[in-house]
Amino acid sequence: MRNPRRDAVLDALRAEFDRALRADRAALLIAGQQLVNAVWFAALWTRGFKPVVATVIWAAFFLVCLAWAVRIERGRR
């Protein structure tokens, strides 16, 4: 059974995603990085930030992503 409201929302999200992909790929990549970092951080949090090596790897990845995002944003000016 189809849900017309859900289908309308999904169609709107797909259209917005397609527009963003065509208009601003860099912003979409930055958003993807933020999503990956947030999920990874949540997984570390649920495990009490153990093992420490995984936390250090995440922190390094986070800093690299942050530096890359800043570089992209500065390049837009």
Domain borders along the chain are: 24-76
Answer yes or no: is pLDDT of 76 > 80: no
pTM above 0.85, yes or no: no
pLDDT at 55: 95
pLDDT at 5: 94
pLDDT digits (tens, 9 = 90+) for 6-57: 999 999 989 988 887 888 888 888 888 999 999 999 999 999 999 999 999 9
Rg of the chain (C-alpha set): 17
How many alpha carbons lie under 13 Å from residue 43 in its C-beta half-sphere?
Answer: 11
Written as six digits, the tokens of 31 are 């958003």
CA quadruple 10, 12, 14, 20: dihedral, nearest 10: -150
